[in-house]
Homo-oligomer: A and B are copies of this chain.
């Protein structure tokens, strides 16, 4: 008998709120084999019911947990932790802590998700801070980049812990025995970078379990030479968002350039499949869903402005990690990898 995997969704988070998250829940569920998974929608019950009514075939397929409060995008994380114990995001994380859900997903305030996740779930032994990790499409397949904004100030020790966590993540998700690890820097030579990065390099290099291949420069991110790329949260956040912005800019420029030329029905017909494929390949929505790595429970962060396609990718991420019981696997491996006494 297949084990039931349960995912809690903070349906109130994100710029589009329940309109996007509930549509995503329905879309995602449609593609699953029956009775293999369960989604819990966490948020304002009346609002959820109203949105579910637009999907009559699915309106009874979800569990609902009522949460009377919402954490705003501009709320200060520590304040939200204290002042909003009944917020949908908090409730979704609590469901993971109590074992009622195997993972949770939120498109809400990243800082609050991090602070509440850490408070409710605690970090894994030997890990000071969770990091946000996401997949990047590259020339050689997928790489994992972290931290993407959970820690805007990092010590070298934190970067080292991120390297260990992400190497274990890739090992577990992709069955790669010794995933390659790179450290993001402003140059490839050993003298380059700031002190924090150079010290992190020493720590990473001194761990024989880590397959460190050296510094990675920004232009190499999409070449995919390493499975893991480590950086502090400020740098990673800017790198990721800059990439998203540039991809959008290039797609928009392409469309603008192609417009006069696509007026001809012949060229339009000839290029239809090409543009479709292009959109599919570059579409950042399929890479949506970043994991708060290092917690004793699976928390997946969706982009704030994710539509239902994007949020559905985030649910899929959470599902995969929940099925692999990622936090438990990491917990068992960390002792040896960090050589905790």
Contact = CB atoms under 8 A, between A and B. Distances in A.
Interface of A: 73-74, 76, 111, 138-139, 149, 152-153, 184, 186, 189, 191-195, 217-223, 231, 233-235, 237-250, 252-254, 257-258, 261, 266-267, 270-271, 273-274, 277-278, 281-282
Name which of A189, A191, A242, A249 has the most chain B CB atoms within 10 A of its CB: A242
B245 A223 contact: yes
A257 B242 contact: no
A231 B222 CA distance: 22
Contacts of A184: 238
25 contacts: A76-B191, A139-B249, A149-B186, A152-B186, A152-B193, A184-B238, A186-B237, A194-B234, A217-B238, A218-B237, A218-B239, A218-B242, A218-B244, A219-B244, A219-B248, A222-B242, A222-B246, A222-B249, A235-B238, A238-B238, A238-B239, A250-B282, A253-B281, A253-B282, A261-B274
Contact of A247 (B73, B238, B250): B250
Contacts of A266: 270
Contacts of A153: 194-195
Contacts of A282: 250, 253
A130 B139 CA distance: 36
Contacts of A186: 149, 152, 233-234, 237-238
Contacts of A234: 186, 193-194, 235
Name which of A233, A234, A270 has the most chain B CB atoms within 10 A of its CB: A234
A218 B245 contact: yes
Contacts of A250: 247, 250, 282
Contacts of A274: 257-258, 261
A64 B74 CA distance: 60
A139 B248 CA distance: 10
Contact of A239 (B195, B239, B247, B257): B239
A258 B246 CA distance: 21
Contact of A235 (B138, B193, B235, B249): B235
B245 A242 contact: no
Contacts of A252: 139
A151 to B, nearest CB: 10
Contacts of A244: 218-219
B278 A254 contact: yes
A267 B273 CA distance: 13
